[in-house]
Structure 1
Amino acid sequence: MQNKPLAFRMRPKTIDDVIGQKHLVGEGELIWRMVKAKQLSSMIMYGPPGTGKTSIAIAIAGSTNIPYRMLNAVVNNKKDIEIVIEEAKMSGQLILILDEIHRLDKGRQDYLLPFLENGLITLIGATTSNPFHSINPAIRSRCQIFELHPLTPEEIEIAIERALRDPKNGFGHLDISITDEAMTHLASMCGGDVRAALNALEIAVLSTKQADTDAVEIDLKIAEQSIQKKSFSHDKNGDAHYDVLSAFQKSIRGSDVDAALHYLARLIEAGDLTSIARRLLVTAYEDIGLASPQASVRTLHAIEAAERVGFPEARIPLANAVIELCLSPKSNSAYKAIDAALHDIKHRRIGEIPLHLKDAHYKGAKTLGRGVDYLYPHSYENSWVDQQYLPDPLTDQTYYIPKQTGKFEQALAQINYKLKKNRNKK
Structure 2
Amino acid sequence: MQQPLAYRMRPRTIDEVVGQQQLVGEGKIIRRMVDARMLSSMILYGPPGTGKTSIASAIAGSTNYAFRTLNAATDSKKDLQVVAEEAKMSGTVILLLDEVHRLDKTKQDFLLPHLESGRIILIGATTENPYITINPAIRSRTQIFEVKPLDETDIQSAIQTALLDKERGLGELPIQLDEDALLHLSRATNGDLRSALNGLELAARSTKPMEDGLIHLTLAIIEECVQRKALTHDKNGDAHYDVISAFQKSIRGSDVDAALHYLARLVEASDLASICRRLMVIGYEDIGLGNPAAAARTVNAVLAAERLGLPEARIPLADVVVDLCLSPKSNSAYTALDAAIADIRAGKAGEVPDHLRDSHYQGAKELKRGLDYQYPHNFEHAWVNQQYLPDKLKNETYYLPKETGKYEQALKQQYERIQNWKKHSPQK
TM-score class, shorter? 0.5 to 0.7
Q: 1:169 to 1:30 in 2, by over 3 A?
A: same
Deviation at 1:207, TM superposition (A): 0.9
Match of 1:118 in 2: 117
Match of 1:106 in 2: 105
Equivalents in 2 of 1:92, 1:329: separation in Å?
Answer: 56
Equivalents in 2 of 1:204, 1:21: separation in Å?
Answer: 27
Q: 1:272 to 1:172 in 2, by over 3 A?
A: closer
Q: 1:311 to 1:265 in 2, by over 3 A?
A: same
1:92-120 superposed Cα distances (whole Å, 9 cap, x missing partner): 21111111111101111011101111111
Match of 2:199 in 1: 200
- AA at the equivalent of 2:158: A
Q: 1:211 to 1:78 in 2, by over 3 A?
A: farther
Q: 1:231 to 1:50 in 2, by over 3 A?
A: farther
Deviation at 1:405, TM superposition (A): 3.1
Deviation at 1:270, TM superposition (A): 5.5
Q: 1:139 to 1:245 in 2, by over 3 A?
A: farther
Q: Which runs of 5+ in 1 are unaligned?
A: 275-309, 332-392, 418-426
Q: Which of 297, 305, 310 is 1:271 aligned to?
A: 305
SS in 1 for 2:328: helix
- AA at the equivalent of 1:178: L
Deviation at 1:36, TM superposition (A): 1.4
Match of 1:298 in 2: none
Equivalents in 2 of 1:407, 1:206: separation in Å?
Answer: 57
- AA at the equivalent of 1:250: Y
Equivalents in 2 of 1:56, 1:321: separation in Å?
Answer: 41
Match of 1:324 in 2: 326
Q: 1:110 to 1:394 in 2, by over 3 A?
A: closer
> Are 2:253 and 1:251 equivalent residues in the alignment?
no
Equivalents in 2 of 1:395, 1:112: separation in Å?
Answer: 52
Aligned 8 A contact 2:330 2:402 in 1 = no
Q: 1:220 to 1:109 in 2, by over 3 A?
A: same
- Root-mean-square deviation (CA, aligned residues, Å) is 4.0
Aligned 8 A contact 1:191 1:233 in 2 = no
1:210-238 superposed Cα distances (whole Å, 9 cap, x missing partner): 49985211111111111126774559xxx
Equivalents in 2 of 1:117, 1:252: separation in Å?
Answer: 47
Q: 1:100 to 1:264 in 2, by over 3 A?
A: same
Aligned 8 A contact 1:174 1:214 in 2 = no
Equivalents in 2 of 1:221, 1:312: separation in Å?
Answer: 24
1:60-115 superposed Cα distances (whole Å, 9 cap, x missing partner): 00110011211111111101101111111111211111111111011110111011
Q: 1:109 to 1:316 in 2, by over 3 A?
A: closer
Give TM-score scaled by structure 2 length: 0.62
Match of 2:392 in 1: none
- The 5 Å alignment of 1:318-397 reads 318-327=320-329, 396-397=380-381
Deviation at 1:30, TM superposition (A): 1.0
Match of 2:66 in 1: 67
SS in 1 for 2:94: strand
Equivalents in 1 of 2:115, 2:405: separation in Å?
Answer: 62
- AA at the equivalent of 1:89: K
Aligned 8 A contact 1:330 1:405 in 2 = no
Deviation at 1:320, TM superposition (A): 3.9
Deviation at 1:209, TM superposition (A): 3.5
Match of 1:177 in 2: 176
Equivalents in 2 of 1:184, 1:405: separation in Å?
Answer: 44
Equivalents in 2 of 1:33, 1:217: separation in Å?
Answer: 43
- AA at the equivalent of 1:173: E
SS in 2 for 1:97: strand
The structure with more radius of gyration: 1
Aligned 8 A contact 2:286 2:330 in 1 = no
Q: 1:273 to 1:204 in 2, by over 3 A?
A: closer
Equivalents in 2 of 1:178, 1:33: separation in Å?
Answer: 37
> Are 2:219 and 1:187 equivalent residues in the alignment?
no
Match of 1:384 in 2: none
Aligned 8 A contact 2:301 2:316 in 1 = no
Q: Which runs of 5+ in 2 are unaligned?
A: 229-268, 334-376, 384-400, 418-428
Match of 1:405 in 2: 403
Equivalents in 2 of 1:188, 1:148: separation in Å?
Answer: 18
> Are 2:151 and 1:152 equivalent residues in the alignment?
yes
1:274-319 superposed Cα distances (whole Å, 9 cap, x missing partner): 9xxxxxxxxxxxxxxxxxxxxxxxxxxxxxxxxxxx9857766644
Aligned 8 A contact 1:234 1:270 in 2 = no
Q: 1:245 to 1:110 in 2, by over 3 A?
A: farther
- AA at the equivalent of 1:170: G
Equivalents in 1 of 2:184, 2:78: separation in Å?
Answer: 45
Q: 1:227 to 1:317 in 2, by over 3 A?
A: closer
Match of 2:253 in 1: none
Match of 2:137 in 1: 138
Equivalents in 2 of 1:44, 1:220: separation in Å?
Answer: 37
- AA at the equivalent of 2:305: G
Match of 1:29 in 2: 28
Equivalents in 2 of 1:203, 1:407: separation in Å?
Answer: 52
Give TM-score scaled by structure 1 length: 0.62
Deviation at 1:141, TM superposition (A): 0.7
Aligned 8 A contact 1:253 1:330 in 2 = no
Deviation at 1:253, TM superposition (A): 3.9
Equivalents in 2 of 1:5, 1:65: separation in Å?
Answer: 24
